Amino acid sequence: MNKTIKTLLAFGAYVVVVSISLIDNWKYRQRKKTGEQTIGTISSGLKNISWTYTVNGHTYTRRLSKSHYYFMEEGEKYIIYYDKDDPEQSSLGATDPVFDTTVFVKTVSLPLNVSVDKGSHEILFKFLVKKDTITRTNRVLFDKKYDQKERVYPVYYRAERPIISYIKIANE
């Protein structure tokens, strides 16, 4: 195969991937704005991530590439936005974890620099459990530009499995 054909095929594949991503993002925003919501539980495979949720007594499972949700752990709970007319169509609220702060242990992150624009951003943070340093990523939604240096933030973690943890960054 010559170089021109390879370049065109690569470009075509890129356009398809970007288009799918843009469509999924648009569907998510629409469902969040006009759809219904419930709580779903994360299941994880080697290459895919799944969430299971129940609407009107029916259980649904949705599966996507793990690449966008690599930071999620089996058993975590997140808000699921779904189409009320077709509940099988859903979007995972990656910035919307669901956890009971009375059950999770509260601590603080190690000092962290956060400098982001408005929007959804992956935040890598660390915290201590006994003498172990836990490293975790969460996706956090910022409603405006945010810039803080060497600050600690509240972190909630599951005592029996500290990797399941959430950082709370308030948009001040």
* DSSP secondary structure of 17-83: HHHHHHHHHHHHHHHHHHSEEEEEEEEE-SSEEEEEEEETTEEEEEEEEGGGGTT--TT-EEEEEEE
> For residue 23, what pLDDT is reported?
47
- Per the document, the length of the chain is 172
Residue 122 · residue 139 · CB < 8 Å: yes
Residue 50 · residue 77 · CB < 8 Å: no
Domain parsing of the chain, residue ranges: 3-97, 105-167
- pTM beyond 0.85: the answer is no
The owner of tokens 């648009």 is 26
Residue 30 · residue 50 · CB < 8 Å: no
> For residue 171, what pLDDT is reported?
66
> For residue 8, what pLDDT is reported?
64
Alpha carbon separation from 35 to 20, 24, 38, 57, 86 (Å, rounded): 20, 15, 10, 18, 10
**pLDDT per residue of the chain (172 residues) written in tens, 0 to 9:** 677 776 666 556 555 444 444 445 555 566 667 778 999 999 876 678 899 999 999 999 988 876 777 888 889 999 999 988 999 999 889 889 999 888 899 999 999 999 999 988 999 999 999 999 999 999 998 989 999 999 999 999 999 999 999 999 986 5
Residue 167 · residue 125 · CB < 8 Å: yes
> For residue 100, what pLDDT is reported?
85
Give me Rg for the CA atoms of the chain.
19
